[in-house]
Amino acid sequence: MPMKHFKYLLALGLLISFTTHAGLYSSGTLSGGIIPDGGSSGRVNYYTFSGIYDYNITDVTVTLNVSGGYNGNLYAYLTHGSGTAVLLNRVGVGASNPLGADGSGLITLILASTAVNNIHTSLGSETTGTFAPDGRNIDPLSAASAFDSASTAANFSAFNGTSPNGTWTLFFSDVVGDGISPNLTSWSLDITAVPEPVNVALGIFGGVFAMVVVVRNPRVRGLVRGWQVAIVRWVDAV
């Protein structure tokens, strides 16, 4: 293999290996997670990450568990720094369905940017699955028709390129009163990140330099050739 091709593959391998789950939080079973029925004050949960140095966010995944209530009434968002991602905004609500999704509760509902289907238009009576976050950053009490044309840009990309460190805030509310209060039983947050670009560049440069030094060393080349011959003989003998 030509040396320049080897360097390209090495650089690609280093970039891939640098991607990591920089932060993982799970609330466990929450005590007293009642979400007030028909109230705008809702429920707020916090978690603070620290000590994650020189990493920038590339993706976020949120998992929710909610018992009871009416899913078409739920409104939830996640904030960190100046970024906001709308997780749920009265899912299912639109001109043809002003009441929204008629399911009750959410069971291990996963919100991920890699999901194909947006939760607002895909969640019906079911209560579980993997979906892209709602992303509709409009008043949850807007006219039903407003949800059909609302932008879905308030998603997890709002956090890309920022540090995972700091406080993450989950806000959850049941905005339409129906006499039933849902309960947030648990939630989790998984952050994927990569090193800052300057550190990636230094790592790639260091790796390429080290490999070039090794390959140019006659003793090392001889040792590698010896291993190759031994492996070929062993394969032939099997």
Q: Which residue has the higher pLDDT, 17 or 123?
A: 123
**pLDDT tens, 146-166?**
999 999 999 999 999 999 999
How far is the C-alpha of 92 from the C-alpha of 122, rounded, in Å? 7
How far is the C-alpha of 54 from the C-alpha of 75, rounded, in Å? 33
Torsion angle, CA of 41/45/49/55, rounded to 10 degrees?
Answer: -60
At 217, the pLDDT band (50, 70, 90 cuts) reads low
**Is pLDDT at 21 greater than 60 in this prediction?**
yes
**pLDDT tens, 83-139?**
999 999 999 999 999 999 999 999 999 999 999 999 999 999 999 999 999 999 999
Angle (CA) 219-222-227 rounded to 5° is: 130
Percent share of the chain, pLDDT over 70: 74
Q: What is the DSSP annotation of 182-199?
A: -EEEEEEEEEEEEE-HHH
This prediction has a pTM of 0.77
Q: Name the DSSP letter for residue 37.
A: B
Tell me the mean pLDDT in the region 58-79. 97
**pLDDT tens, 166-214?**
999 999 999 999 898 999 999 999 999 999 754 444 344 444 444 444 4
Q: Which residue has the higher pLDDT, 196 or 3?
A: 196
Please give the pLDDT value at position 40: 83
Partners of 191 in beta bridges: 23, 60
At 233, the pLDDT band (50, 70, 90 cuts) reads low
